[in-house]
Every structure is written in C-alpha cells, then in structure tokens.
Amino acid sequence: MTENPSPVYPRRGTADERRIPASPRFPRIEDEVLGYWAEDGTFQASIESRPAGESEYVFYDGPPFANGLPHYGHLLTGYVKDLVARYQTQRGRRVERRFGWDTHGLPAELEAMKQLGMTDKAEIEAMGIDKFNDACRASVLKYTREWEEYVTRQARWVDFENDYKTLNVEYMESVIWAFKQLHEKGLTYQGFRVLPYCWKDETPLSNHELRMDDDVYKDRQDPSVTVAFPITGGGADARVGRELAGVNLLAWTTTPWTLPTNFSVAVGPEIEYVVVEAPKDGPLPGKHLLAADLLGAYAKDLGFAAAEDAEAAVVARYRGTELAGLEYQPLWGYYADVSRWGTQNAFRVLVEDYVTTTDGTGLVHQASAYGEEDQRSSEEAGIPVILSVDEGARFLPMFAEPLGDGTAPLADIAGKQVFEANRDIINRLKADGRLVREQSYVHSYPHCWRCRTPLIYKAVTSWYVAVTQFKDRMLEINEQINWIPGNVKHGQFGKWLEGARDWSISRNRYWGSPIPVWVSDDPAYPRTEVYGSLEELKEAFGDYPRNADGEPDLHRPWIDRLTRPNPDDPTGRSTMRRVEDVLDVWFDSGSMQFAQVHYPFENKDWFDSHHPADFIVEYIGQTRGWFYTMHILATALFDRPAFTNVISHGIVLGSDGQKMSKSLRNYPDVTEVLDRDGSDAMRWFLMASPILRGGNLVVTEEGIREGVRQVLLPMWNAWHFFALYANTARGGQGYQAKPVRGQDVDNPLDRYILAATGDLVREATAALDAYDVSSACEALRAYSETLTNWYIRRSRQRFYDEDTAAYDVLYTALETFTRVAAPLLPLISEEIWRGLTGGRSVHLADWPEPDDYLKDERAVELMELTRTIASAGSALRKQAGRRVRLPLRRMTAVVPGAEALRGTYQQIIADELNLKEVELLEAAGVDPAGWGIGQRLAVNARAAGPRLGKQVQQAIKGAKTGDWSVQDGVVTAGGIELQEGEYALETVAEAAQEGMELTVLPGGGFLALDTTVTPELEAEGLARDTVRAIQSVRKALDLDVSDRIEVEIAGAPEALAAAEAHAGLVKTETLALTLRPAESLLGDDVQGAEVGEGLGISLRVVRA
C-alpha cells in the first residue's frame, strides 16, 4: 500500500479536502456541510428542482411560540418535520416549508408585563394599550434570531424568509374572516363561562395561570356546611314527589357564600339515597334524605347515638335517578320573582354524573354562576346564570333591600366581600333552622399568582364556537385522518371529540386578534354587527383601522377606535362599539391552515387544491390544542380535515425519568451535545426512539452516544475503508468504482449484500411511507451492522487483493445506504455521498428504486444460515473451552439443503471458526440419534386443553418429567394419548460422544464439533497466539500498517518450537522479515506475552 498524493476519493468533500479522517469529528464535518449548503443554495434547489402543482407535498409548521428559547420538544418535532420533508423531496415531491410564528396570547402578555414590572390590568390600561402591545410585539420577536440559529444548527431546512406571523395584518384578516364565517353559519354565540377570578385585581384568570407557580395552590381552611332543603313536591315521577314531600334534602358545600344563589341540588344517578327519620327529641326532628353511604357520618348531627341507630331509622330508599325534578323550598326569597329573574326552572333536584359520595352528603348545592359544573348543568336545565356579587366580590346592595314580605334576611352581607360574608350566612342558616352541620375544611385552594389573593370561581361573559352542533361531523371527518400512532384516532383524540364541549374563544385581554363584533352601547336599541375583512370595515367606518404609523392594523387599540352611530337608534345617540375581547390564541393557531396564505383574500385556487395538509406533527397533548382547533375550523369552514397524516409523539423526559427541569439540570445541555456529538447523532437518538410511537423518552448522554456507535461510526468507517483501498489500488493510481445492479455478480457475499441493500430500500420505503420512523431507523441500523460486521469483515482479503468487483459492490452499497439514510442523517450522509459520487447533494438525488437491486432470496437465506452456523459454532467452542486461535480438526453441520453451502459458505464457516474442515451432511440422510441428538415432547396446551380439560395438566407433567412415549405414531404423555397437533417433537442435544460437542440449530439441524486437540493443532494455535502477541507489540510501537519488522523471540520451548514450525505463517501475518529464536531477551524494548495455556514468551520487535 502506498500513499497516493492525489487520491480518487473523496471525489467532492466539504470537510478537510482530500483526506478522510479515520476518527472523524462529526460536529466539525457537520459545520462544514452546513456552510456548503448555505453557499450552494441546496435547500432552495431541492424545492425548485421538483415540479409545482399536483405533486406538491403540503406540510404545516407547528405552532412554536417564540418568546422563549427552543427546548428539546421543539428539537424533536423539528427533526420529524425535516426528515419527512427531505424524504418526500427525494421521492420527487415539492415540499414548501414555511416557518410559522405564534405571536399572540397571554404568555406574550405575561412576559411583557414581567419586563415592564407590572402586576395587573389596571397598570396596562394606565400605560395605554398601544404601548403595552408594542412591548408584547417586541417580546415575542425577541428570540427569533436564536430560533433561526438553533433550527439551522439542527440541519432543519425551513424557509425563514417566506415565513408567517400571526401578528401580520394579512394573517389577522383571515382570522376575522373565519370568525365571520362561523357567525354566519350560526356557530358562534355569547354566553357565560366560569373562570378563576381574582377579586383584588378584578380580572378573570385563564386556567393556565393557575399553574404559573408552584405555590399558587396552598392549603386553606374554609367552613363547609350542610344545609336542609325541604321538598315541596314535583318530581319526574309524581309518586316520588308525593312520598317525599316534607322530607329535607341535606346538601353540602364548601362555599357558603354561594348559598344565596342556590338554584339547584345535584344528585348522582347511581348513588343510593335513604330517607331517615330523626329522633323527635334530637336537634333536627323530621325526615331527611342523603346518600346511604354517608348516613353514618351524619348520625350524630341528626341526633342518633350511633351509626347503627341511624341505619335502623331508615324508612325508604331511592336511586339518584328517581329523585330527578323534585322541587324544594329555597333558602331565602331573593330570587323568587320568576318574571324578574327567570328562575321558573330553579329550586329543583338535577341528576349529575359528577356527584360522588367521597365527601358531604351525596347531594351537592349548585349555584349557576360559581362553578363550572354548576353552570353547565344549570344551562341544560334552563336555569339562568345570576351573579350576586360585584367586580370586587362584594355582595350587591339588593341584599339589603326588603323582600315582598318586608324582611331582608341577609341584609348584613350587602357590600361585604364573599369570604367575610360566610359567617353572616351561616348564622342566618342557624337561625332559620336550616343548618345541619358546620365544619371547617382544609383543602388545597388556588391563589392569584400575582397578588396571592385566594381566588373565587365566577361566571364571566364569553364568546363560544358551538362545537357541539357539528361534533358528529368532526367525528366522521376524523375517520379520514391517518394517526400515528394509530390508537390516538379513536383513543385520545376520538374520545376527546366525543366529549367535545363548546369552545370558549374570547379573552378579556389586549394582545391578540380582535373579536370582530360591534354592538350598540345602549341596550334599548340593540344591534350587533360582524365584520370579516378590512374592506368591510372600511366600508362601514370610512377607513381601515390604522396604527400610529398609519398602517392598516387590526390590533387593539386601533380597531377599538372604529365606532359609528347605531343605525337602529332613531335618537342617534347610541354608538356601535367593538366588544373588548380578543380571540383565544388557539383560534389563531387553528387558523394557520388558511391564514398563512391570506386565504380567501389571496391564493384561493392554490388553497382549494392544497388543503388539507399531507402531514403535521406535534406532541400528544395537542389533541386538545392545535390538532383540535385545526380540526374544528377545518370541519366548520370547509367540511374536510385539516391534515391527512399526523404524528403525535410522546414527551421528552430528563435523564432521571422526570419532567425536564432547568433547575434540576436533569438533561444534557443541547448546545453541548450538538458541539460534542453533532446534530445527526441527536437526530438519530430522537428518531430511533419509541417517542414517535407515542412512548416517552428519557434523554441521556449515553443514549445519544449509542446512536453514534450504532450507525454513524460504522457508516463512516465503511466509507473510510472503501476510500483507503480504492485510493491505493493499482499501485497507488487508485480505482474509481462504478455502481452495479448485480445480476451478473456471482460471489455469494456480493450477492448477499446487494440483495440486502434492495431489502433495505424496500423496508425503509415502506416504513417511511407509513410515517413509521423508528422502523426505518431499525432497518438502517441492522443493515449497517451487516455491511460492516459481515460483508466488509469477510471481504477484507478481496480488498487487499484489489478485487475491483468487491470495490464496485461496496460502492453501490454505500451509495445506496447514504441515500436511504439522508433524511435521518442528513449531514454525514451528505458528506459521504458527495465524497463517493462527486455529486452536488444527496438531498437532490432521487430515493433509490428497490427493483434496481439484485433480488436473490436464496443468497440471503444461505448467508443467514451461514451466520447462524458460525454463531452456534462459536458457542460450541466456548462450551468446549477451545479458544478460537486454536485450530480444530473438524465440525460437522447437519442441515437441510446442506449441499447448497458447499464452497464459499463452507469456507466462510471454516475461516470464522478456525477449522481445518467443515463437513456438510444432508439432514434427511442422517439419523440424529446416532449423533446423540434426542427428542423432547412439548404439549400444545392451547390445542389439547379444550379437549382434555383437567387431564391436560397431567400430560404436561408427563412431557416435562420424561414420562412419555411414541408407539406406532401414537404419542402418549403422562398416560394420556395426544392427538395430532396437540404436541410437538423437538430435537435436543443429549449425549455427545467423547471429544465432541453438540448443539441444535434454531432453524433445524445440528452441529457436531470435534474438540480433539493434536500436538500439530496445539502448535499451530501457539503460533497464532504468537502472531497476536507480535501484532500487539506492533500496535504498541505505533508502527504503520505496512512497516516491515524484525522479531526476536524467547521463552517456553513449546512456544518457540511452534513458532519455528509455523515461521512462514508468523512472518507473513506480521510482515516480519526475520524471526529469530533467542536464549533469553532482556532490555527495555522487550515485551512479555502469554500464549497457549499460560506459556510465557518475550519478544523484541524492531522496524526493519
């Protein structure tokens, strides 16, 4: 081998021109490939080289939110997005990739408030909405540069130039268009929604604000009360109403302050309730109704001495469903005026699934304005939402006003904050004889994350999309979507759709797309207007909404400034004003499918033929987020899905299996990993993992290194090996390899690897077409193993011998491998592919066609059998305690179709196992018993069980203990005759002859290894040990592979004799010009070694 000053390979390279390092630094190579792409414009070329139109592959970017730095979750989805797009491009599709920025919403506002040092909405109003929104805009675009760097470094190709931002006026125009469409279809309405509410800041909070800090939830002590409601009659079943008239419903609550607005009592449908007659001399004489399970807990309160006494006093039993519609006497008369309050359906028993018997009485007091369940169930029952407190959670003045009978039972609470009013209300209950029990109750209770005030739940007005109206259609359309993993379709997503509720889309905030609804400011002259475009606004208000720079802008406060006289008001005094709310940011995200192309104002034709998207990906939690809102809007607006294929992946966890946490530092730093192992290593680690099949993934450095070891290094080493020999061929001239199809190839190893290459293409294509990324990775991993640890290892000699057929085959294998690996290892594949072919980019190359490769199942099968025999033979050597360097006389392989292994396969086995002879015998012609191969009976319990019943256990026992026989073809085990199919006879190695080791092969047949060691074999073994010892010394001396040496050897006489007897072998193997025995060797340059069974030798090796 001679160094070639101008080698053939790499033909093109980005890293370190003209040299292929044996130990590559992948991150450095990656950097250079990234630089090459930037310079070459490869990404643009990969899009432009594919035709537009029908063959476009439509991909939507997810909803990343840019006011934070990217993390592992983004990294993961980014890799999936990129690899699918690269794959489809190689398959000939044109894949436009626009980056999307989600910019609106509460997170942006909170970040801006933090930066401005604000804690509540009053401060925002004081500052001015325009200035506040400027701050929001700056905060959401703060990290765009970091994002770009991050995305570029992960080798993700995406268009930042032609991106979309939800804050652009075009985008927002499409959003209000969508709202108007929904409105015209009758799918929007205004209603109440119960939200956590901070009465100090006088603002509702979103549920997500409850998770703002860990200490939002704190234990709090509240009074819990049980109240008696006398039944007056009614009932879905009038008989029950009559029976129960006069009986007290005992209802429980932890919020006594909501009792003035008690409008219903809920019972659980399956819960058993009892009527119990309390002792006449007790605190609460009369009959009471409560859940049977909880009677004991109330026995004392009702005047019983013990639970058993209460049990004995039960006079009737009912199931919850029987109690539906029972009417009861309200606590106080404040809301008794039906014409004023609309309470004609109130003060009755409702049946609700959510009621349990873990606390209280099994009957729950409901106030429609102060609980989500309460509000929903009241709405279904036709009970209105009525607020009893003002913005500061103080009771309204009306409580001080006398009722029809001239009394004002709750006069004390008027103007009092709700928690302070609890005491007054409880005292009143006691005075009225309605209080059954009072108890303090410690529970985890949410507090305002800003001011630490305990929150209340309170109804606020909100706009809704009437999802329940078209829920069934959403379910039908879901059938057209291919979910990965498949169980999400009817599982998490399908179930979520089935339980879909109306979607609350308004937020009483500042930074978002506006709700394009204008209403009259005088209820006496009601009017509502909805606008769906800038032109409509201009027509109605005379101009576009314009910001400080005079640009059309749909943000607050500019849009709020559009007002006009109410045309329905003859007095001309009322004004049309926009409702203050902005849209939930999820409405923006769900609109990206059309808003990113400013549909329908632009790109109408394009959209009509390129929606739904072919593919999207996000984490599984988006079944309630992006996946859901996209699906709602696509169904409502277009009556079709928004996407046809979707991967919903699992969660990325820290190295300790917990959620990733910055403070715990329980995950490897992304930048560190990218700098040390590289992006391809990270990509491989994430893509090969179960996370894309819905599982969770623990991120560890070892896991990432594992990917480097499993594919990146083998791939690189194969390339390095190929180039090494191709460059030194023909006396240093080099050899340029050419692709082969393989039909005319006859070397079995060549046929094997070419056929395996075709199989790789087939498997990877099938996997990626099914979006089964981890299977594609597995196929690549298995192939790289075969290529390096079998094909190349077994073909080494042919490369030494300059067999150019082998060069061509390895070239073909590697070139194909890099094309298949390109989506999964885009950087390193690029470097190798360009080095091999001299082409512009592997990402511009077409995906390989499986039919271009040799198809030879027989060659694969025979080689697999060869590998099986080699590996079983290896185990035999271990069993016999015969090291591999010690040659053995013979191994006999008894297999079906043995003849086909003759020749190369036989040679490979002999070589692998260091055998003088491999004897092949046809299994059909050999009596296994003669070789000590016996049989074992296995009962097929599944087949025999149903027929034999209990006896099958006896037969199994017989088979296990050897109590079985075969006579005239009839198998009997444990005295039970078994029928055909109820048993299987398996071969098992039993008694090997002396000097023989036996093993049964997994696919049938067996091996017999002759373990006899003759002096000749022993000597050769020692000689080979000596070779190994000399090679170690060469390595230790850091000699070049082609350096010639001179060797002196001393030590055990048997070892010296063996070395001498096999001097030829020793010298050729070690490139030794001389091999001189010596009496003894001394000096610093002498190395000791051990050969055979503990024989010592000394060696002196010098360069010749």
Contacting RNA within 1060-1089 (CB under 7 A):
none
Can you tell me which of 452, 709, 741, 902 binds RNA, judged by CB under 7 A? Answer: 709
Q: Could you say whether residue 902 binds RNA (CB under 7 A)?
A: no
Cβ of 376: how many Cβ atoms within 10 Å?
17
883 binds RNA (CB under 7 A): yes
Neighbours of 122 (CB within 10 A): 12
Task: Select from 138, 770, 884, 1063 the one that contacts RNA (CB under 7 A).
Answer: 884
Q: What share of the chain is helix, strand, coil (3-state, %, to 5)?
A: 45, 20, 35
> The tokens of 579 are what?
């409702």
Q: How far is Cα 135 from Cα 137, in angstroms, rounded to an integer?
A: 5
| Among 283, 221, 293, 258, CA closest to 436 | 283
698 scored as a contact of RNA (CB under 7 A):
yes
968 touches RNA by CB under 7 A? no
* Cβ distance to RNA smaller for residue 844 or 988: 988
Span 717-776, contacts to RNA by CB under 7 A = 717-718, 720-721, 724
Q: List the alpha helices (DSSP H) in 102-226.
A: 106-116, 121-127, 129-140, 144-153, 169-184
Shortest Cβ 249–RNA spacing (Å): 20
User: Angle of helix 713-728 relative to helix 773-786, nearest 10 degrees?
Assistant: 40
**Distance separating alpha carbons of residues 483 and 492, to the nearest angstrom:** 11
Nearer to RNA, 508 or 644 (CB): 508
CB of 13 to RNA, least distance (A): 17
| Cα 52 → chain centroid | 32
Strands (E), 834-914: 888-895
Query: Which residue in 296, 839, 945, 1077 binds RNA (CB under 7 A)?
Result: 945
With H, G, I as helix, E, B as strand and everything else as coil, classify residue 117.
coil
Nearer to RNA, 470 or 721 (CB): 721
269 near RNA (CB under 7 A): no
**In this structure, is the dihedral angle defined by the CA atoms of residues 886, 890, 893 and 894, taken in order, positive or negative?**
negative
Structure tokens at 436: 């059954």
Interface with RNA, residue 105, by CB under 7 A: no
Selected from 330, 384, 621, 897, the binder of RNA by CB under 7 A is 621
For the segment 202-221, give every residue that binds RNA (CB under 7 A): 207, 210, 217
Cβ distance to RNA smaller for residue 242 or 793: 793
* Between 154 and 648, CB nearer to RNA: 648
Which of 657, 962, 995, 1015 is the binder for RNA (CB under 7 A)? 657
Residue 191 or residue 283: which is nearer to RNA going by CB? 191
For residues 190 and 254, which CB has a smaller minimum distance to RNA in the complex? 254
Task: Give first-to-last CA distance, the chain, whole Å.
Answer: 17
Give the nearer residue to RNA in terms of CB position, either 170 or 1025: 1025
Contacting residue, 254, 788, 972, 1087, with RNA by CB under 7 A = 788
**Residue 126 token pair:** 């004081």
Q: In the annotation, is 622 catalytic?
A: yes
Q: Catalytic pick from 101, 483, 518, 586?
A: 586
Q: Does 198 bind RNA (CB under 7 A)?
A: no
* 712/810 Cα distance (integer angstroms): 17
Helix (H, G, I), strand (E, B) or coil at 768: helix
Answer yes or no: 102 catalytic.
yes
508 forms part of the interface with RNA (CB under 7 A): no
Place of tokens 């003060």: 347
Residues 417-436 that bind RNA (CB under 7 A): none
DSSP, res 849? P
- Please report whether residue 789 would count as binding RNA according to CB under 7 A: yes
Does 1017 contact RNA by CB under 7 A? no
Q: Any contact of residue 858 with RNA (CB under 7 A)?
A: no
| Minimum CB distance to RNA smaller for 115 or for 354 | 354
Instruction: For residue 50, count other CB atoms closer than 10 A to its CB.
Output: 19
The reply, when asked if residue 185 is annotated as ligand binding, is no
Considering the rule CB under 7 A, would residue 45 count as an interface residue with RNA? no
Give me the least distance between CB of 502 and RNA, in Å please: 12
| Residue numbers 329-368 binding RNA by CB under 7 A | 354, 356, 358-359
Looking at 257-265, 555-563, 582-590, 698-706, which segment touches RNA (CB under 7 A)?
698-706
- When asked if residue 935 is in the footprint of RNA (CB under 7 A), the reply is no
DSSP labels for 267-328? E-TT-EEEEEEEPTTSSS-EEEEEEGGGHHHHTTTTT-SSHHHHHHTEEEEEEGGGGTTEEE
The answer to whether 871 contacts RNA (rule: CB under 7 A) is yes
* Shortest Å distance, C-beta 796 to RNA: 6
Q: Give the C-alpha distances (Å, rounded to integers) separating 208 from 107, 438, 639, 651.
A: 10, 33, 31, 19
Provide the 3-class DSSP secondary structure of residue 960: helix
Quick check: is 147 catalytic?
Answer: no
Contact status, residue 996 vs residue 986, Cβ threshold 8 Å: no
Angstrom distances, CA of residue 352 to CA of 271, 414, 663, 867: 11, 32, 43, 66
Tell me the site size for RNA, rule CB under 7 A. Answer: 76
For RNA, which residue of 5, 6, 17, 23 counts as binding (CB under 7 A)?
23
586 is catalytic: yes
Residues 439-478 contacting RNA, CB under 7 A = 457
Distance CA 279, CA 524 (A): 57
Give residues 1028-1047 in contact with RNA (rule: CB under 7 A): 1028, 1031, 1034-1035, 1037, 1039-1041
Long-range contacts made by residues 166-169, C-beta under 8 angstroms, separation at least 24?
A: 166/100, 166/101, 166/102, 166/103, 166/104, 166/513, 166/585, 166/588, 166/589, 166/592, 166/595, 167/101, 167/103, 167/104, 167/137, 167/140, 167/555, 169/534, 169/551, 169/552, 169/553, 169/554
Are 1029 and 1089 contacting, i.e. CB atoms less than 8 angstroms apart?
yes
Backbone conformation region of residue 489, classed left if phi is above 0, alpha if psi is from -120 to 50, else beta: alpha
**Least distance to RNA, CB of residue 713, Å:** 4
Q: Is 63 a catalytic residue?
A: yes
Q: Taking CB under 7 A as the rule, does residue 236 contact RNA? A: no
Residue 71 near RNA by CB under 7 A: no
Contact pick of 372, 438, 522, 990 for RNA (by CB under 7 A): 372
Q: Is 690 in the site for RNA (CB under 7 A)?
A: yes
CB of 987 to RNA, least distance (A): 13
Residue of 3, 18, 19, 22 interacting with RNA (CB under 7 A): 22
Compare residues 28 and 423 and give the one whose CB is closer to RNA.
28
Q: Shortest gap between Cβ of 532 and RNA (angstroms)?
A: 29
**Pairing, β 1006-1010 against β 456-465:** unpaired
Q: Is 880 in the site for RNA (CB under 7 A)?
A: no
Those residues whose C-beta lies under 8 Å from the C-beta of residue 386, and which sit 6 or more positions away, are 261, 263, 335, 341, 343, 368, 369
Of 16-24, 286-294, 312-320, 424-432: span binding RNA (CB under 7 A): 16-24
For residue 950, state whether it binds RNA (rule: CB under 7 A).
yes
Catalytic hit among 101, 157, 626, 931: 626
Beta-strand ranges (E) seen in 632-755 are: 645-649, 652-653, 697-698
Per-residue tokens: 906: 């036989």
Residue ranges at the known binding site = 662
Residue ranges at the known binding site for ATP = 662
Residues annotated as catalytic (active site), given as ranges: 63, 102, 586, 622, 626, 659, 662
